[in-house]
Homo-oligomer: A and B are copies of this chain.
């Protein structure tokens, strides 16, 4: 990992964690059990990639990172809820996540479902608080909520998860062309939609113009797809212990880039996407240094 990114991730993790601690501090109305379950997954060692995208995008468009922390926290809460629900027995049925027992293994399935629901709901509360702190106008506030909801919902991340489930076992039953299209649609949404929403939310908070928002979304689509391709490749060749989960994608005979193109072609596809992602940032100059380094990191991590 390059130095500017490393510093940004360390600093952002501390700031975003603090913001999430404040959002989930003990309250009479917040049952201790669900608070514990929500915090367990929220502070389970995530890399805070999505909050970093929110803060870096805000910075690119002229807003100090510390003014976007509650929206950064919102995106991390949505990411965390999606992991909790994805790990459930009815979904991917994973026992481990980042080397630790998954939420439902510790707290039970019912609590895991509810902790996920609570995190998703808290995310919107947090983004709305951020808009209010910055005294954003009504149109911008509504746009912020809309960007996050569209990225996270049935037309975005949830839709990607739906397609991913439907694609199980189809790896060997389709032509390569139709498999590639199905795979790209899953990836564009399952991981990509929330990454794009993170960048766009940061831009909206900063009052970005249409060209800035389009450039950041375009960057986001490319790193999102590269991220998922790299995930597939790591799932085949990576150190399983380092990833902290067993190779469940292969167990379930899922369609993956590694299976479809082979490891080397998948890697070169990811590299091409990252080159394009750098190009999207050309108008932001030096303010985009974190995003440049992050693009490189996405295909270099854990190897």
Instruction: Give me the interface of A with B, judged by CB distance under 8 Å.
Output: 27, 29-31, 33-35, 38, 81, 85, 88, 90-91, 108-111, 113-118, 120-122, 124-125, 127-129, 131-132, 135-143, 145-146, 148-150, 152-156, 158-159, 161-163, 165-166, 189
Contact = CB atoms under 8 A, between A and B. Distances in A.
B149 A138 contact: no
A210 to B, nearest CB: 17
A275 to B, nearest CB: 27
Given A29-B156, A121-B158, 10 more contacts: A30-B154, A117-B120, A118-B158, A120-B120, A120-B121, A122-B149, A128-B141, A128-B146, A137-B137, A141-B145
A127 B148 CA distance: 13
A159 B30 contact: yes
Given A30-B154, A33-B166, A108 B90 contact: yes
A205 B231 CA distance: 44
Contacts of A115: 154
12 contacts: A29-B156, A33-B166, A34-B158, A88-B110, A114-B154, A117-B158, A118-B153, A121-B152, A122-B153, A128-B141, A132-B142, A137-B138
Contact of A30 (B31, B113, B142, B155): B155
Q: How many copies does the complex hold?
A: 2
A84 to B, nearest CB: 10
Contact of A33 (B34, B113, B120, B162): B162
Given A125-B146, A138-B137, A155 B113 contact: no
A166 B110 CA distance: 10
A145 B128 contact: yes
Contacts of A109: 90
A129 B139 CA distance: 9
Contacts of A128: 141-143, 145-146, 149
A128 to B, nearest CB: 4
A20 to B, nearest CB: 13
A147 to B, nearest CB: 9
B145 A138 contact: no
Contact of A121 (B88, B127, B140, B153): B153
A48 B109 CA distance: 29
B118 A91 contact: no
